[in-house]
Structure 1
Amino acid sequence: MHNNKTIHFISGLPRSGSTLLAALLNQNPQFQANMSGPVAGMVGALLENMSGKNEYSVFIEDVQRERIIRSVIEGYYAYSKADVIFDTSRAWCARMPLLNTLYPAFKVIACVRHMPWIIDSIERLVQRNVFQPSSIFNYLSGGTVYSRADGVAGGDGMVGYAYNALKEAYFGDYAANRLMLVQYESLVKDPQKTLAAVYDFIGQPLYKHDFNNVEFDASEFDKKAGTPGLHEVRRNVAQNERTSILPPDLFKRFENDAFWKNQTVHRSGITIA
């Protein structure tokens, strides 16, 4: 990245600690990290509009496409005084070949979590905000816990898309030494050890983080999305034990989806914290 800046990417599954990770990394004055932003979406829109869908695409060569995409990413962060940028989007796991072309030294930190608890976390948000239909479900009211779980777990759903993108990255050609999985359970149980692994992965000197004074506020964004609390981060990093509100059969449906825990399919060169 220009101006001696380094860019990495935070991706992975929703409700799995990506906002908490960004809030913690942002404590380091040399870093800039945030919740999911518009950059990945702008990149996708540009690629589509520079494709054969556009009658003028015959005038655009791949070298121009590459420069345009890179200029959008770097232009978005040109104002930043940070040395290391972390851009967050669930889409980055599905863009590993593109990232390899743009930034051969790139790293993707993918946040993961036991799948039933992701569905549980989303359902808790819905049930907590009974007067505000959520953007997660296109602001539609009604339905049941089963239909909502089916919706987010589908291939185009909030969870299903991210899960499929994660598998694409994990089993793809660009994962070795570039993809790190940060388990939510590890991050909240032992944030010091987990962040030390993150710093080692990106090759940066470890910073002393304050795990009892985490600051992050996206309340206006969440309110507009009809989902207050969507990006809420507790001030103190701690493990929160609770009982699932999912019916047992629904919880069981997603119980074996944590493929990253399966040693028979583990890929060498991928760090799992």
Structure 2
Amino acid sequence: MSTKHTSQASQLFNEACNGIKRHIQQAKFSQAIALCHQQLAGDLSNDNRIEILYLLVVAQRLNGDLSEALESNKTLLEANTKHARAWQENGYLYLALRETQLAAQSFYQATQLNPALLASWRALLPLYQQQENAKAVAISEAQIDYLAGLPNAVLGAKDLMYEGNLHSADKVCRQFLQANKHHPEAMLLLAEIGIQLKVYGEAEFILSSCLALYPEHKTAGITYLQLLAKMAKFAEAKALADKLLVASADNVVLLCAKASAMVGLGDVDEAIDIYQRLLKVNDDQPGIQLLLGHALKAMGDLPAAISAYQRAYQYKPEFGDAYWSLANTKTYRFSDDELLAMEQRVAQEGMGLDDKVHLHFALGQSLEDRHSFDAAFSHYAKGNLLKQQQINYNPEVFERQVAKQIETCQPELFARLKAAGEPSTDPIFIVGLPRAGSTLLEQILASHSQVDGTMELHDILGLASKLQGQKNQYPQILSELDESYFVRFGQKFLQDTRVYRQGARYFIDKMPNNFLHIGLIKLILPNAKVIDARREPMACCFSGFKQLFGDGQEFSYGLENIGRYYRAYEQLMAHWDTVLPGFVLRVQHETLIDDLQGQVKRILDFCALPFEQPCIDFHKTERAIKTPSSEQVRQPIYRSGMEQWKHFETHLLPLKKVLSES
């Protein structure tokens, strides 16, 4: 369809929507319903169909057609489970039908998806009062007071943000701040929008400015802590937590933020001590039980981690993350009773979306362990579909990024800037796709006396994000920068990552996504080593598809998307081989398993390291490991995972098709 025809179709649809809204405003509900059905009979995009369905539900409810409205809303929520106003409509409908429990669940779900829905909070308050739920009443009253006290523009921008209209929210918020320069809630909101847009540098500046102006603003402080954790700036996060704790020494959120930062810094024992002290005061804190489990797992104390995860779901039976964390140990086996409880929970109406996603992935892993492969795939597919709806990943964006890297990072760029960077040989980067064996390579190298294992460091990604800015100027800007920038970037990387080192000559940065930025790495750290962890495509992609990642890796929640990502990765790695010959060592996971000693010697030679036997006996090395493969690399080499995907082969045709395309 031409641009002209697309524009005309969009205009006609907008006119139809406005007509339906006018009929609703004029209480002409039957006419509005008829117009909705007329539109739904046509050829609509998914987003347009959802918009018309929502208007239909509103018109049917106001017309008194409650059963029809519930049915229409069911169709809407099947198309978009996170439509907050559809959940709000469910609340109104159940309220009209005197189904107060279902009404409360629906309004609650609406507020979870869009905490700025003042109408849902106001509807919840009397329902909680009837239930004599004092804690929920207090939360609702506080939220109503907070939202009602916001300027209309800020409340509107907040609503837009939660509805996913980030650029509109950003525009409204900036316009308000032009007239109200240092309004704390508007500053906080602009930072929150920036975080969702992944403009982390700007969000960090806004939050630090907000706290400088309003040091007592607890929400700004907590949001800043969350951002620092997301950026893996754990030293800064710990320092900020300590500063905020001076005024609120017993604040559980701040103490947990400090403990999480300490886990990031490798001070896991002290973090565990904080969690245990908090639980000694009150054991019924499932979120802290979960965090304790993560810290214990990182330390290798799996039995204690399992106990913490089990306590988490015992205190909160719908806590999907607790079940997933058990499944994600890769060694835990669920009992029949646990499996039945998960299946019952995931089927419940009104179940929180995040809990449902976690439960589907946990059920997939559990059923795969029981060799019920078709049932397992059904849950993996449902979990991935729900996750896709949350993130709206577009594979073309990444493919354009790869194309820009190839276009910009040509031999003449590296020839011109070959002496521009910091000459240190300290860093060893391990890149590739998640679930490709990078944790195993890290464990092998970290078992060497001259190498520190750290974690998936965010520093290269952060630098790339800053260079990108809001004008999409990275990587093109690399050819325009003054040469002096590159050595400074390299020095800053070494300075900022020093906190994660333990004093060895070399250290590892295991952020897999750094493969996109190998050109940048070469320019700022020309003597660094880069190792590409490569795994057979079907095995790698399926392993990623069935893994629920804590953050990022949005490409992994769809078979076609992950296949396209893998192909783009292969294309880019081939480019680096051409323009930077010898800079990257490729280690094939399957070859490593077949010839451990030979591949270890090859890796050590590449890194200019003498052979040491602990690298072969890597599973005996004691260190904190925070990735999903933590328990697997504490065991000797095993082959069982190499062909797991073949049990699911009939379900993986979309992936196989993408990977086989030339």
TM-score, with length taken from structure 2: 0.31
Higher-RCO chain (CA-CA 8 Å, sequence separation at least 6): 1
Instruction: Supply the RMSD in Å over aligned alpha carbons.
Output: 3.6
Of 153, 162, 165 in structure 1, the residue corresponding to residue 572 of structure 2 is 165
Task: Please list, as runs of the form range in 1=range in 2, the aligned pairs for 1:87-106 lying within 5 A after superposition.
Answer: 87-106=509-528
What CA deviation, in whole Å up to 9, does each residue of 1:83-106 have, x standing for no partner? 112222334333333333323333
**CA deviation vs aligned residue, 1:76-133 (integer Å, no higher than 9, x gap):** 233431111222233433333333332333321101011000122123435xxxxxx8
1:14-163 alignment to 2 at 5 Å? 14-49=434-469, 62-79=482-499, 80=501, 81-125=503-547, 135=551, 148-155=558-565, 159=566, 162-163=569-570
Cα drift, residue 34 of structure 1: 3.8
Aligned-residue offset at 1:250: 4.2
Of 229, 239, 247, the match for 2:649: 247
Per-residue Cα deviation, 1:190-249 (whole angstroms, up to 9, x for no partner): 222111001111222111121442556545xx6xxxxxx365533222222544243333
Q: How far has the Cα of 1:19 moved from its partner? A: 1.0
Pairing 1:192-203 to 2, within 5 Å after superposition: 192-203=597-608
Task: Kindly provide the amino acid, as one letter, of the partner of residue 151 in structure 1.
Answer: N
CA distance in 1 between counterparts of 2:598 and 2:422 reads 31
| Percent of pairs with identical residues | 18
One-letter amino acid of the structure 2 residue matched with residue 237 of structure 1: I
The CA distance in 2 between the partners of 1:246 and 1:42, in whole Å, is 37
* Structure 2 CA distance for aligned equivalents of residues 256 and 52 of structure 1: 31
Q: Aligned pair in 2 of structure 1 residues 121, 106: CA closer, same or farther (>3 Å)? A: same
In the alignment, the residues of structure 1 paired with residue 657 and residue 608 of structure 2 have an alpha-carbon distance, to the nearest angstrom, of 38
Query: Is 1:91–1:165's contact at 8 Å kept on the other side of the alignment?
Result: no
Partner secondary structure for residue 78 of structure 1 = helix
Which residue of structure 1 aligns with residue 234 of structure 2?
A: none
Distance 1:190 1:125 in 2: 27
Higher Cα radius of gyration: 2
Whose strand fraction is larger, Structure 1's or Structure 2's? 1
Question: Relative to 1, partners in 2 of residues 1:35 and 1:246: Cα closer, same or farther, differing over 3 Å?
Answer: farther
In 2, Cα distance between equivalents of 1:162 and 1:232: 27
Task: Answer yes or no: is the 8 Å Cα contact 2:422–2:491 preserved in 1.
Answer: no
Contact 1:22 1:35 in 2 (8 A): no
What is the identity, as a one-letter code, of the residue corresponding to 1:233?
A: Q
Contact 2:426 2:505 in 1 (8 A): yes
CA positional deviation for 1:42:
1.5
Partner Cα distance (1:41, 1:7) in 2: 15
Give unpaired runs (5+ residues) of structure 2.
1-420
- TM-score normalised according to structure 1 size: 0.68
Measured in 1, the distance between the counterparts of 2:506 and 2:638 equals 26
Using a 3 Å threshold, how does the CA distance of structure 1 residues 98 and 255 change in structure 2: closer, same or farther?
closer
Evaluate the alpha carbon distance shift between residue 123 and residue 16 of structure 1 in structure 2; reply closer, same or farther with a 3 A threshold: same
Change (3 A) 1:98 1:119: closer
Higher helix share: 2
Aligned equivalents of 2:522, 2:423: Cα separation in 1 = 20
Given that residues 460 and 517 in structure 2 are in contact (C-alpha distance below 8 angstroms), is that contact kept between their aligned partners in structure 1? no
Distance 1:119 1:255 in 2: 10
CA contact (8 A) 1:26 1:32 kept: yes
Give 1:187 deviation, angstroms.
1.9
Whichever residue aligns with residue 181 of structure 1, its letter is: R
C-alpha distance in 2, partners of 1:137/1:101? 25
1:246-265 maps to which residues of 2 (within 5 A)?
Answer: 246-248=648-650, 249-250=653-654, 252-253=656-657
